[in-house]
Chains A and B, each alone.
Chain A
Amino acid sequence: MRTRYSEDQQAVAEAFGDLFAREATPEAVRAAEAGCGFDPDLWRKLVAAGAPGMAVGVADGGGGASLVDLAVVVHEWGRRIAPVPLVEHAVCARLLAAAGVGSRRHLVASVASGELIATLAPGPVDADGTVRLVPAGAVADIVAARRGDDIVVSRGQPPGTARPNTADLPLADRDLSDAETVASGAAAASAWDRALAEWKALMAVAYAGLAGEVLAMGVAYTKQRHQFGVPVGSFQAVQHGLADAATRAEGARLLAFRAVCAVDADTAGGARLASMALLFGAESARFASDRALQYHGGYGYSAEYDVQLYYRRAAAWLLQLGEPATEIAQLAETDLGAKARTA
């Protein structure tokens, strides 16, 4: 049992923390927002660093790292709200490698290297073959989705434009009518469930990163900003709001990493923890960004300051995956049993 990073994980955190701090600056985030929510230069740098496929097996062309190691990188990604679809891609790459797409080895290898960008669609394929609002749909070359009892994969030209949205995320509708089936039946169900659990657990970690960073911005600002002749951060009302946000952010971080460990180890209840961690992470990130924005006063609301970038993503990341009420309803099924059918 070790609830802190190992020395190796600490080194990974520092290396990627530096990379994201250097490359995914707030200016880079704004530049991506002016486009489709994607920074191709940053993606190339992550490819060079081996990040996109780091948690794919070596035999499949990946780095052979664990899901927990990947989560360490994702935490840094979340801190900088970096405009690249690292989590979607990494989870889809693992799904493709695991779902026996072995006959298309070159495809898996191209995804593992990051040469092709992959994503997965949480929503269903419509009757006409489209999936709406696919995360990273604007830039992904490969889209995996559920169609009936199958997992299908489509390779197509990404539109390169996103549907305008709250957080300028690369959300786009995709036509999956030409998608090929890569897994069916029980094998598809368990592979998909696992991918969703990984996605939720990793996004929970990303949320912990976002919450921690936006809180740090709030703390730094309230130490430096003076009103009534004293730092705003010396007022107890402000301190207590920040303390509550810090407590929830730390709880979210611990629950998120605990969920990643459980999913990685295939522990019973791992998917449940992942879902809980995602919901709590999203709520904690929203609370932290709300407090940080509030204690910036009017500047927090201005486009010039960075808090608003975090505030918008705190809301949007979760909703890309689905409605919170649905997530809670699924947890209720697990913990409380099915609802009785009404006549």
Chain B
Amino acid sequence: MKKLRITVWVVCLLLVSACGGRTSTDGKTTMIIGGSTSIQPLMESIAEAFNEKADATVSIQGGGSSVGIKGTEDGTFQIGMVSRELKADEAKQLKETVIALDGIVVIVNKDNPVDSITMEQLQQIYTGKITNWNQVGGLDKEIAVVSREEGSGTRDGFESIVGFTSSELIKNSDIQNATGSIISDVSVNEHGIGYISLGSLSDNVKVLKINGVLPSETSVKDGSYQIQRAFLLVEKKGETHDQALFDYIFSKEGKKLIEEHNYIAVERK
């Protein structure tokens, strides 16, 4: 009994010490930003650098784009991170600022003779309607689909742009939870097809043209390459926050951070 009591006490102490509260600071920029897990790592680096530079306390939370939108609308977050387009009713309430662009490239094995596929073919490959490379002009080889895990922002973006849902993804698709694993999976398998962020591309694999367009910084920026998404920061309309953070994001330093995360920096609009 005594031992049990000691155990309970120690566990309680551990729990209490793990829940240290956040202290508020006066006279500084204090902000909670939340939403898309795709943008989260980028915004965490930006917040870290910004906090140090401007002596501010900006904290970043995840949850996903929808959580970001809801949180911004109800005031939980001052700024929401969204990695998809705003729906019409959402756009009525929120003001969006594009901070970066991300292209998603489709990769195959270097020995695969296929160079280009259409968006529709890509959708059919990932939903299991096309299962052999010879159906898209390649060799008579079964297609081995590789995808990211549920919850990954890249997967989320890929699925919504290409046009299918997670439950429609071909069942026997390999799932890898890192860009590196997808690249090595595809680089050793002639049957393979996968997708990764444009900035993480390596020489071990071959990039497919989509609808005839090769992904590049230019083709993403001018919109001709279709599998791309914008990273948005949203604010409630009519509410103006400290613009110092935005100024920082679009400054040289901010752009450098965006490029370090392998995304494409844009000009402020």
Partners in one complex: no
